[in-house]
A and B are shown apart, each in its own frame.
Chain A
Amino acid sequence: MTESDLITYAHDLAGIEDKELLVRLLMFFHLAQALTEKPIEDVFISELPNPDLSTQYVHLYFFTTTHGFEIENWVSRDRISKMPWNIAEHWAFIAKDFDFTTATQNSRLWFDVQFRASTGFGYTLSASGAHCKKLMKIVKQYFDKDIPAPH
């Protein structure tokens, strides 16, 4: 994944226009990359629509072929955690106006994955609109190969 891929995703799918946030995103991208010898291959920004239609950004995730990086509440916090994603044990979805393949503007998707019980940790990813399909791709790629690929 290149800086340009990241910015395109953040702008076009996650809807980030704020330059300061984009700079912060790049900073985390480089920090995560510095913490692994493998290339960062994907990203996901958890987002939720506010009643006034603005967007609230929650957690940020980067993925390599073996690990996930999570920056909880990345807009204001700086803590990066790293976890091998193949220890995911259990997941749950909540979907609204989304059939897991075709997204509309009203689509919402929430995905919660728990790692081995002994860790007590998990990831929470949420998306709206077309971004839901990106979330499905992430789920298929890293957490459940069995689910059908989104169209």
Chain B
Amino acid sequence: MPPVASESLDRPSNVSEYHIWVNSKGTPITESVKKEYNSSVAAMLQQFQKSQFWQELTKTRLREFNQSYQGSHNQYHLLLTEAAPDLLGKSFDSVVIKSLRVNVLGNRNWPDPPEGGWRQPDNWLELFNDVIRTRFIVKYFDGVQFLMDKLAEFANTSGLNVTKGFRAYDDGYYAAHVYVSCKFNIPAPLNTRQVTTQVEMQITTQVQEVITQLLHEQYEGDRLEPPQEDDNWKWDNRCKRFSRAYLGHTLHHLEGVILDVRDRTKGTDK
């Protein structure tokens, strides 16, 4: 087997090299780590699913939010569906890739730890805020902020710490994210151990969701690339990143126009 260049060991550039680097730091990512992570995620999903917050949100509050939006927006619907969205746990492969992105590819402090410290299996659950996530789909552009505010308000009144904000990235991703802090009992050797971590609730429009689904694979692949410092891709119409990003931006603009037309038609133009 050819020796691995010290350069690649020093700064891994892909998942295989990352595993070697992680091993060298004494925190190998083994099958046991995978099993422990998967057990924790399964427990967290189960507990959040059964939580009073989630039960009340999905059984009564979503309907109320929808009605409230309809009442103030000429009977237009807020949500694509009032059914509870799926709760998803971050897969083990994804969490490894995310730790590679944070520890290495996007780490401006390299070779020192990134802000907040090295992301290692024993702190993934606490330091990553999207291990448990869900996505609400709204029909119109203005529904994103409406639902973001409603979710945050409901989380607040439920006694949960909450943060919220819009996301608008260069790569064409547009959504709002609401994070609620929750305590979970996760498996540990002799008793369960309590961790406090955030659950991510994404809010996006129906149109953006279609694009996200279509381009998901490509997006995941791109996230394994070191962040590009230059803007050359913005002038290369043949590269995939260009197509995806500007499709996202264009649709975002179009959705704004559609909303404008909708509100003019119904006489609710501001």
A residues adjacent to B (C-beta < 8 A): 48-51, 56, 58-59, 72-73, 75-77, 94, 96, 108-110, 112, 114, 120-122, 124, 126
Contact = CB atoms under 8 A, between A and B. Distances in A.
Contacts of B185: 50-51, 56
B191 A73 contact: no
Contact of A110 (B30, B43, B46, B190): B190
Interface of A is mostly: strand
A122 B192 contact: no
A7 B222 CA distance: 50
A122 B30 CA distance: 11
Contacts of A48: 187-188, 190-192
Interface of B: 30-32, 35-36, 38-39, 42-43, 45-46, 185, 187-192, 194
Chain A to chain B: the 10 pairs with minimum beta-carbon distance, closest first = A73-B42, A110-B189, A108-B190, A120-B31, A50-B185, A94-B189, A48-B192, A50-B192, A76-B42, A58-B187
B42 A49 contact: no
A108 B190 CA distance: 6
Contacts, number: 58
Contact of B194 (A51, A59, A75, A76): A51
10 contacts: A48-B187, A56-B192, A58-B187, A72-B35, A72-B42, A73-B38, A110-B189, A110-B190, A120-B31, A126-B190
Contacts of A77: 42
